[in-house]
């Protein structure tokens, strides 16, 4: 059917049968390769959204194609009640490259965070006299299930879909005293992103993170880091916690770990291997197709040294943005590796995103004044130069 339809017929069909969830531009993406996407009109887009910080190896990389086809021909799903080889291999790899000992697999970031929250509550019930409250930060993002929406620090979400899951206490980010005074006998954990991604790319300060670790040590609370956006090389190291030199008790991964395939993970320590049989699970937990893709993606991230590339290209983007900063009155250039943001002189973010898209460049505006860059980790200097040429031409037409 779809091959016969024009783009406007496809858009009509979409409006007829897809539940509305968001305003989308009237284009239909058709094909991807490396740093580029093509729509059904054959228009080419240089992709600095990267499937939302997801396509770490670029679009349709050969390693994912090979992993999918060979695994699909071997074993797709023996049921979650049996072990399978790629599941075992992938868990071993993740524990080898991180400071964690145990892995639980899921399909989405929110689901990994639900697992982290359940594990923290289990720990609270076993070791902290039934404590269940989790301290999270304002402006954070942890997912879209009812419970992860409650964990998320967006004030507009606290009244949506009421009644929301109780047991979350939001404190200002980077404010150690606020966290200290929020701790009470009901608290079992502190949960945060080391760099708030959806919140607009705001980094936790070193001292703050180190003090959080100390407080958790002293009080017996768990430290949970949500590295769904920052993990797997995105920030110039394999995991963002390496920038801080701390070890958390629980870490969640998603987005880039599957290179575009639905895959997430919750990692923890031997000490927290405390779920009873049946407490946690999922039909697709550790299913072979996802495991084979994850293995291939993470092996490729390691062998191609993509965290290093993220660091190098991220520094180059940062330098180039500083060069054009004055001309366009850009402010607050920030981020680490290939998770970068800057602010415009006024609230024209979505306008800039639309104009860049018309010119064949995909960018994201997480807030009206903010532009965020999160390209595939394979991005090179030529791609960055092309991105900046288009961005500057659009900024010229908007501001000069
Ligand atoms: C994207 C994201 C999530 C949610 O992941 P989904 O796969 O959309 O459920 C959670 N936490 C952070 C930090 C994220 O960036």
Q: For the segment 371-394, what is each residue's pLDDT rounded down to a tens digit?
A: 999 999 999 999 999 999 999 999
Residue nearest to atom 8 of ligand 1 (CA): 109
Assess whether the C-beta atom of 254 lies below 6 angstroms from ligand 1.
yes
Tokens of 31: 């094909």
Atom of ligand 1 nearest to the CA of 112: 9
Cα 170 versus chain centre, distance = 20
d(CA 270, CA 102): 6
From ligand 1's centre to the CA of 231, what distance in Å? 11
What pLDDT score does 1 carry? 52
What pLDDT score does 3 carry? 66
Cα 185 versus chain centre, distance = 32
Atom of ligand 1 nearest to the CA of 264: 7
Assess whether the C-beta atom of 193 lies below 6 angstroms from ligand 1.
yes
DSSP string, 259-281: BTBS-EEEEE-GGG--PPTTSS-
From ligand 1's centre to the CA of 112, what distance in Å? 9
From ligand 1's centre to the CA of 373, what distance in Å? 16
From ligand 1's centre to the CA of 136, what distance in Å? 15
Q: For the segment 123-176, what is each residue's pLDDT rounded down to a tens digit?
A: 999 999 999 999 999 999 999 999 999 999 998 888 899 999 999 999 999 999
Give CA separation, 181 vs 88, 135, 210, 330, 362, in Å: 42, 11, 17, 37, 42
The contacts of residue 384 (CB under 8 Å, 6+ apart) are 313, 316, 317, 320
Assess whether the C-beta atom of 110 lies below 6 angstroms from ligand 1.
yes
Residue nearest to atom 10 of ligand 1 (CA): 142
What pLDDT score does 177 carry? 98
Radius of gyration of the chain, Cα coordinates, nearest whole angstrom: 21
What pLDDT score does 196 carry? 98
From ligand 1's centre to the CA of 307, what distance in Å? 20
Atom of ligand 1 nearest to the CA of 52: 1
Assess whether the C-beta atom of 141 lies below 6 angstroms from ligand 1.
yes
Assess whether the C-beta atom of 334 lies below 6 angstroms from ligand 1.
no
Assess whether the C-beta atom of 202 lies below 6 angstroms from ligand 1.
no
Atom of ligand 1 nearest to the CA of 262: 7
Give CA separation, 391 vs 76, 322, 362, in Å: 43, 14, 10
d(CA 372, CA 49): 8
d(CA 298, CA 105): 14
| Residue of 142, 153, 228 best suited for mutating to test ligand 1, as the one with most atoms within 8 Å of CB | 228
From ligand 1's centre to the CA of 254, what distance in Å? 7
Assess whether the C-beta atom of 114 lies below 6 angstroms from ligand 1.
no
Cα 31 versus chain centre, distance = 23
Contact 89/66 with Cβ under 8 angstroms? no
What pLDDT score does 159 carry? 86
Residue nearest to atom 15 of ligand 1 (CA): 229
d(CA 312, CA 199): 24
What pLDDT score does 259 carry? 98
Give CA separation, 51 vs 6, 59, 188, in Å: 24, 9, 34
Assess whether the C-beta atom of 200 lies below 6 angstroms from ligand 1.
no
Assess whether the C-beta atom of 228 lies below 6 angstroms from ligand 1.
yes
Beta strands in 146-239 (DSSP E): 168-171, 187-192, 195-196, 202-203, 222-226
Atom of ligand 1 nearest to the CA of 255: 7
DSSP structural state of residue 59 = B
Give CA separation, 353 vs 50, 74, 349, 361, in Å: 14, 43, 6, 8
Assess whether the C-beta atom of 115 lies below 6 angstroms from ligand 1.
no
From ligand 1's centre to the CA of 100, what distance in Å? 20
User: Which residue positions in the chain have pLDDT lower than 70?
Assistant: 1-3
Contact 226/24 with Cβ under 8 angstroms? no
């Amino acid at each position: 059917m779809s091959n016969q339809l024009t783009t406007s017929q496809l858009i009509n069909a979409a409006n007829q049968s897809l539940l509305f969830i968001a305003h989308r531009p009237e284009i239909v993406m058709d094909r991807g390769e490396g740093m580029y996407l093509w729509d059904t009109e054959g228009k080419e887009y240089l992709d600095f959204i990267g499937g939302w910080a997801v396509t770490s190896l670029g679009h349709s990389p050969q390693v994912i194609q090979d992993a999918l086809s060979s695994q699909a021909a071997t074993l797709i799903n023996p049921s979650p009640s049996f072990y399978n080889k790629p599941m075992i291999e992938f868990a071993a790899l993740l524990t080898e490259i991180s400071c964690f000992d145990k892995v639980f697999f899921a399909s989405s970031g929110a689901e990994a965070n639900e697992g982290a929250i359940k594990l923290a509550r289990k720990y609270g019930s076993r070791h902290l006299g039934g404590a269940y409250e989790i301290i999270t930060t304002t402006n954070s993002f942890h997912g879209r299930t009812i419970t992860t929406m409650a964990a998320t620090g967006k004030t507009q979400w606290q009244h949506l879909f009421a009644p929301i899951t109780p047991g979350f206490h939001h404190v200002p980010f980077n404010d150690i005293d606020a966290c200290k005074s929020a701790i009470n006998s009901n608290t079992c954990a502190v949960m945060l992103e080391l760099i708030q991604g959806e919140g607009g790319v705001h980094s936790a300060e070193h001292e703050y993170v180190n003090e959080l670790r100390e407080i958790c040590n002293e009080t017996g609370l768990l430290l949970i880091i949500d590295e769904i956006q920052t993990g797997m090389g995105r920030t110039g190291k394999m995991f963002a916690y390496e920038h801080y030199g701390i070890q958390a008790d629980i870490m969640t991964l998603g987005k880039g770990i599957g290179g575009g395939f639905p895959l997430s993970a919750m990692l923890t320590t031997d000490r927290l291997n405390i779920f009873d049989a049946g407490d946690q699970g999922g039909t697709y937990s550790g299913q072979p197709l996802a495991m084979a893709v994850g293995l291939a993606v993470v092996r490729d991230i390691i062998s191609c040294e993509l965290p290093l590339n993220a660091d190098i290209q991220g520094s180059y983007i940062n330098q180039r943005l500083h060069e054009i900063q004055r001309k366009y009155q850009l402010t607050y250039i920030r981020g680490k590796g290939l998770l970068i943001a800057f602010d415009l002189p006024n609230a024209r973010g979505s306008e800039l995103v639309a104009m860049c898209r018309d010119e064949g460049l995909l960018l994201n505006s997480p807030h009206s004044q903010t532009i965020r860059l999160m390209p595939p980790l394979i991005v090179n200097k030529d791609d960055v130069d092309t991105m900046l040429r288009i961005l500057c031409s659009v900024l010229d037409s908007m501001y000069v």
